[in-house]
Amino acid sequence: MRAPSRVLAVAALFGLLAPRVASAGTLSDPTGSHAVELVHGFWSVVADVAGQPGDADDQQAPHPPPQAIPPGSKNEPPVALDELSKPTAIETRLREALRRHDGGIRVTVTNGAARMGDFSIGSNETVPGHLLVVQGTADIYGKLLGNLVTVEGDVVIHPGGVVSGDILTLGGEVRDEGGEIGGEVRTFRTSNVLETPLPAAAAPPPSAIETVFRRMAGVLGVFLTLGALGFGLVMFGRSNLEVVSDTVSHSFGRAFATGLLGQLLLLPTFGMLVVGLILSVVGIVLLPFAVVVYALLVIVGAVGGYLAVAHAMGETYTRRRLALGAMIGSPNSYRYLLVGLGALAAFWAAWSIFGWVPVAGDLIRGAAILVTWLLATAGFGAALLSRAGVRENFAGRLLPPEALTDEYLWATPQFGVTAAKRPGSRTPTRGL
């Protein structure tokens, strides 16, 4: 089955490419100018991107029977086609004027006429004034002494045909087959002038349960993402994560102050980096990379720091439980991270459940934001202090030998050996 599907895929590829090659072959230019060929090639690309508007005739709805469009009522302002140099403004005006009233279109054209369906000017005819043609092709064999605008229709200037003014097509194209156009030709191949905009239905406000579910889903998504990132961090950078985590635990105040200072200095540092690179001239080349790297470092610092805080929270909680004699299967960094993220998610879960309650909902949300910012700042600061987990100075790991007392060693699980409950004692003291 695999071989035939490959054959089919190759055949489909040829099928897609073949028409383009064929059409490219027809784009020869009598002048032989390479630039002109490029321009023609450009337009074929534009046609491709715009959804083959060259086949618009095939896709357009059948034109209505030719007829004059009756003038609008006195309340409706007439449409002036004297000035077509701002085509989008004309388009907006026509969209307003061509709205259907009582099932039909009515419009008044200043110094001109409006037609529905195909319209042609005979070779011995002269039409004075501007002309608006809606949903029809304008075939010009004779003379039009004014501007010509079509909506969802093409313009064909036949040999000997003359349009003294400008031409604007909104949803069509101009085919100059040897006629004379005195003014400028402007073509929008696509337009939505006749599309009646649907009235925007006011969406009903979501119910409280719907709101709760939406928010819960959002919180779950965010923390699952953080969990995935955290697991990756544990897997590939466990030692660094643990150092940052220990820095948060042992030097929280210092980490928070550093994080706060770091946030304040983010922009000035970025400015100095950019200016320095520009002044070095050679560094100008590196500027885009430096900007991206700086942004990435900040994001990694903030997210990594936040995960380290979660790790620290989980570790503290787990060790306390172990010290209380709880049997925990695998007290490792994965568990610490999950427990910590769960605790952090609890704030937002509370908001997602009770966020719809007036006042209290806002208070919970404010508290969740504040706590998240505090912990993220501390985590960011710890990442800075520990140089992303490389320096252990503030991680509380450089304990003097006299600090390694029996009490400490007993309460601190070493190499995965869980601490046993001290017989006769109720609760371990701080530091566990």
Partner 1 sequence: MRRAMLSILALLLGASGAAAQTMRPFSTYRQWHGETRLDARLDYAAGALRLAAGRPAELYRMDVLYDGDRYLPVSEFDAARGGVGLGLRASGQGGLRVVSRKELRQTASVTFSPRSDLALAVTLGAVDGDLELGGLRLTDLKLEAGASRATVRFSQPNAARCRAATLTSGAAELSVLGLGNSRCDRITFEGGVGRVTLDFGGAWTSSSRVAVRMALGEVALRLPRTVGVRITLDKFLASFEPQGMVRRGTSYLSPGYDQAARHLDIDVTTAVGGVTVDWLE
Q: Could you list the residues that contact partner 1 (CB under 8 A)?
A: 31, 33, 35-36, 38-39, 42-43, 45-47, 49-50, 53, 85, 87-88, 173, 176, 180-190, 278-279, 281, 284
Q: Which is nearer to partner 1, 187 or 211 (CB)?
A: 187
Q: Which is nearer to partner 1, 49 or 202 (CB)?
A: 49
Shortest distance, CB of residue 88 to partner 1, whole angstroms? 6
Residues paired with 113 in a beta bridge: 131
Amino acid at site 274 = V
Q: Which is nearer to partner 1, 188 or 334 (CB)?
A: 188
Q: Which is nearer to partner 1, 50 or 370 (CB)?
A: 50
Strand ranges across the sheet with 180-181: 126-128, 143-145, 162-163, 180-181
Q: Which is nearer to partner 1, 57 or 407 (CB)?
A: 57
Is residue 139 within 8 A of residue 119, CB to CB? The reply is yes
Shortest distance, CB of residue 33 to partner 1, whole angstroms? 7
Burial profile 49-69: b = 16 or more Cβ within 10 angstroms, e = fewer:
eeeebbebeeeeeebeeeeeb
- Map residue 80 onto helix, strand or coil: strand
Distance (Å, whole) CA 84 – CA 91:
10
Distance (Å, whole) CA 295 – CA 89:
42
Shortest distance, CB of residue 138 to partner 1, whole angstroms? 17
Q: Which is nearer to partner 1, 34 or 430 (CB)?
A: 34
Tokens 């006299």 appear where?
402
Residue 250's nearest CA partner among 387, 403, 409, 394 is 394
Shortest distance, CB of residue 137 to partner 1, whole angstroms? 18
Residue 219's nearest CA partner among 108, 352, 87, 332 is 352
Shortest distance, CB of residue 430 to partner 1, whole angstroms? 48
Q: Which is nearer to partner 1, 164 or 332 (CB)?
A: 164
Q: Which is nearer to partner 1, 158 or 189 (CB)?
A: 189
Q: Which is nearer to partner 1, 184 or 210 (CB)?
A: 184
Shortest distance, CB of residue 170 to partner 1, whole angstroms? 11
Counting beta carbons within 10 angstroms of the beta carbon of residue 409, is it exposed (0 to 12), middle (13 to 18) or buried (19 or more)?
exposed
Shortest distance, CB of residue 295 to partner 1, whole angstroms? 15
Task: State the DSSP string of 377-413.
Answer: HHHHHHHHHTTTTT--TTTT----GGG--HHHHHHS-
Shortest distance, CB of residue 418 to partner 1, whole angstroms? 40
Q: The tokens of 160 are what?
A: 């000997």
Shortest distance, CB of residue 113 to partner 1, whole angstroms? 24
Residue 185's nearest CA partner among 140, 148, 144 is 148
